Amino acid sequence: MGVLIYKLSFLCPLNELGKSPSELMRLKECPLDPGGYFIIGGTEKVVLMQEQTSKNRLIIEEDSKRGLVCSVTSSSAQTKSKTNIVTKDDKFYLSHNSFIVDVPIAILFKAMNITSDQELLQLIGTEESVWANFVPSLKLCLEYNIHTCLDACNWLHSRLRQPRYRTAFGASRTLRTAANILETDIILEIQRFLRDIIITHIEMEKLNFAPRAFFLGQMVRYLILANEKRIPVSPISSNNLSYMQFIKSVTLSHE
């Protein structure tokens, strides 16, 4: 039984002392090759962390540019998507290429019909230290004058990379009626859009975002705990008892 040796490890012949770039080139090897992979049957093979290939579970990683990032790769029979929550200036944001800017997480919650600050905080946790870490994110809603679901949906719509909303009104409609239809259409369009890109492995009925709002709250909570170096033992899962109890007890207005 043979033993695999990855390239440029201390057992690799190419890693011997004195191998200059010219010597490597003479051996038809690239001097800039960092190594760290295997060659099996003439094909380069790498070893991936099992965590990186996991689906539907939270993973917290440290990015050299963005700091701690909490992500989940959602995979179901219908869809596949990735949700990233990042920290910036002690505030939490959704990072997604569908938007031209990172989306403040509190605005995202309000677009999901979580308009009460108290209800939003309860999704994150009950500890004062956790709340204190999330308050700066809540204050962004005041800075942007976001108070209702409509406010949040309008904010998100104006920052879509490719606006989805299209409508036309007949000449017989009054200005007030047209405005009412416009508001309703924007909310429906944005909420349907969020339904298709945010934590898509969590099932939801119509536009009831309660299950996904809970999961999103736990993503923020994990980032806070990671910053405080006290992450719980196991990541949140849709099979957790606390999750199922929450889904059965919470009721939110939906379409």
Domain residue ranges of the chain, discontinuous segments joined by +: 6-46, 54-163+172-228
pLDDT at 7 over 90: no
pLDDT of residue 21: 80
Q: Please write the tens of the pLDDT for every residue from 112-167.
A: 999 999 999 999 988 888 999 999 999 999 999 999 999 999 999 999 987 654 44
Q: What is the mean pLDDT of the chain?
A: 78
How many Å apart are CA 78 and CA 222, to the nearest integer? 27
Q: Please write the tens of the pLDDT for every residue from 32-85.
A: 887 888 888 878 888 766 555 568 888 888 777 777 888 888 887 777 888 999
| Structural fold of domain 54-163+172-228 | 3.90.1110
> Looking at this protein, which amino acid is placed at residue 65?
K
pLDDT of residue 13: 79
Give Dmax over CA atoms of the chain in angstroms. 85
How many Å apart are CA 219 and CA 62, to the nearest integer? 15
